[in-house]
Chains A and B, each alone.
Chain A
Amino acid sequence: MKNRIKIARAENDLSQADLADRIGVSRQTINSIETGRYVPSTVLALKMARTFNKALEELFQLEDTD
């Protein structure tokens, strides 16, 4: 699964810590999601989408290997 969290954060001028605080997870979790090592739950993905005011699929896309 690909994601555009890092880009969305940059657009909104949020640090990993800011985003982590807003959605109630640790900074390490944001980092792991951005680098593709952790796939968030649907609830967490929806919270991110809501924070950035984007549709879910603008943030996360399936890859051929999924």
Chain B
Amino acid sequence: MKKNLLLPHSFRLVGWLLFIPAVLLGLANMYAEYKPAFLGDFTDETAALGVIVGLLFVAFAREKVEDEMIRQLRLESLQWSVYINYVLLAIAVVLLYDTAFFNVMIYNMFTILLVFIGRFAWLLYKLQRREETFV
């Protein structure tokens, strides 16, 4: 079988455990200037890296059974998230300026992965539900 560049299934949980504290830290830093003493000026870097690594782990952890149909859903979700990402960015380019646009750029660093994770999870959920009604 072809090799796919995916992480072990257990990385999903590790990803969430990295992502959740990192995103809380990032939001606290962005909106309340929160900087814990042990991180100081590295607070935003730590948060951004935590969010990136966490989301990558969640997005690209293998499913328990990662077969060709799952791979296709994965690819479709990725294409979908790239479309959504740039539609949102284009809207922001037209509508927002200055600080507001800068904020959008910060969120935009993560939207591809976030939308991908959401879309892929939704497709898997639909698959599960459809199966329950059919069997």
Contacts and interface: CB of A to CB of B under 8 A. Distances in A.
A26 B134 contact: no
Contacts of A20: 65
Interface string B117-135: 0000000000110110011
Interface stretch (B24-32, B66-74, B85-93, B107-115): B66-74
Contacts of A40: 68-69
A25 B69 contact: yes
Given A16-B135, A31-B135, A25 B127 contact: no
A24 B65 CA distance: 8
Contacts, number: 38
A62 B128 CA distance: 28
A33 to B, nearest CB: 8
Given A31-B135, A32-B127, A35-B134, A41 B68 contact: yes
Contacts of A27: 131
A26 B64 CA distance: 9
Size class of the A contact interface (CB-based, 8 Å)? 10 to 19
Interface string A1-35: 00000000000000010001000111111011001
Contact of B67 (A16, A25, A31, A35): A25
Nearest to B68: A41
Interface of B: 1, 63-65, 67-70, 72, 127-128, 130-131, 134-135
Given A31-B135, A32-B127, 9 more contacts: A25-B69, A26-B69, A26-B70, A29-B65, A29-B70, A31-B130, A31-B134, A35-B134, A40-B69
15 contacts: A24-B1, A24-B65, A24-B67, A25-B68, A26-B64, A28-B127, A28-B131, A29-B67, A29-B69, A31-B130, A32-B69, A32-B127, A38-B69, A40-B68, A41-B68
